[in-house]
Amino acid sequence: MKHHYAPANMTTDTAEEVAAVLQDRLSTLIDLSLILKHIHWNVVGMGFVAVHELMDTQTASVRAMVDDVAERISTLGGVAAGLAGQVGSMRDADSDYELGRAEVMAHLGALDKVYESVTAGHRSAIEKVGELDPVTEDLLMGQAGELEMAHWFVRAHISNVGGELATGDSDTQLDAAVTAAAEIQPGVELADETPDSEAQQSA
């Protein structure tokens, strides 16, 4: 949608460019908030209470980020697209969360990879808007710090005293989940209940 106004000393073309970067982050943050809530509902096993509550805390933090990013898009003269269909159309199918009901360490292993992607995206967005809009840059920098701290909270559960992650060299969410669970909760098998498999079973 074409912008018809922009903040003082900013052209509408620049506002549109910055808003497009923010829209990508908005969709990603909405998706992250849903993943965190999904884990909150579906985590099981030793350490359940702590992780169940941690996910709620992180969900609240990310939802606040969602609101700030959406309002910045509106301030720039754009329209924040946050409806389910809009967010779904902007997402890469490869970013789908791969676990359903699973053990604590499996979910945290997978979530480690989710946070890696989200924080990397925020850092990339900061670089893109750095020369265009210092206000948006400041917003994203503050959020990047919060996201990286949340990531640390997750990694503190899946690392040893030497700082080595139980996810090892895993590249995907599922590999990270299996590796972390096997390393920290040996003998626990990853339940074959991913969101996709559950949907197929109910079909």
- The answer to whether the CB of 112 falls within 8 A of the CB of 154 is yes
Length of the chain in terms of residues written = 203
> pLDDT tens digit string along 50-71?
999 999 999 999 999 999 999 9
- The answer to whether the CB of 80 falls within 8 A of the CB of 8 is no
pLDDT at 165: 95
pLDDT band at 133 (very low <50, low <70, confident <90, very high): very high
Residues 6+ apart with CB under 8 A from 7: 15, 75, 76, 135
Q: Classify residue 196 as exposed, middle or buried by CB count within 10 Å of its CB (0-12, 13-18, 19+).
A: exposed
User: 107-134 burial string, b = 16+ CB within 10 Å, else e?
Assistant: bbbbbbbbbeebbebbeebbebbeeebe
- The answer to whether the CB of 144 falls within 8 A of the CB of 126 is yes
Please state the domain extents for the chain.
Answer: 12-192
Q: Among candidates 115, 88, 85, 114, which has minimal Cα distance to 99?
A: 114
Task: List the CATH code of the domain at 12-192.
Answer: 1.20.1260.10
pLDDT exceeds 60 at position 202: no
Read off the tokens for 29: 């943050």
> Which helix H or strand E contains 202, and what residues bound it?
helix 195-202
> pLDDT tens digit string along 141-173?
999 999 999 999 999 999 999 999 999 999 999
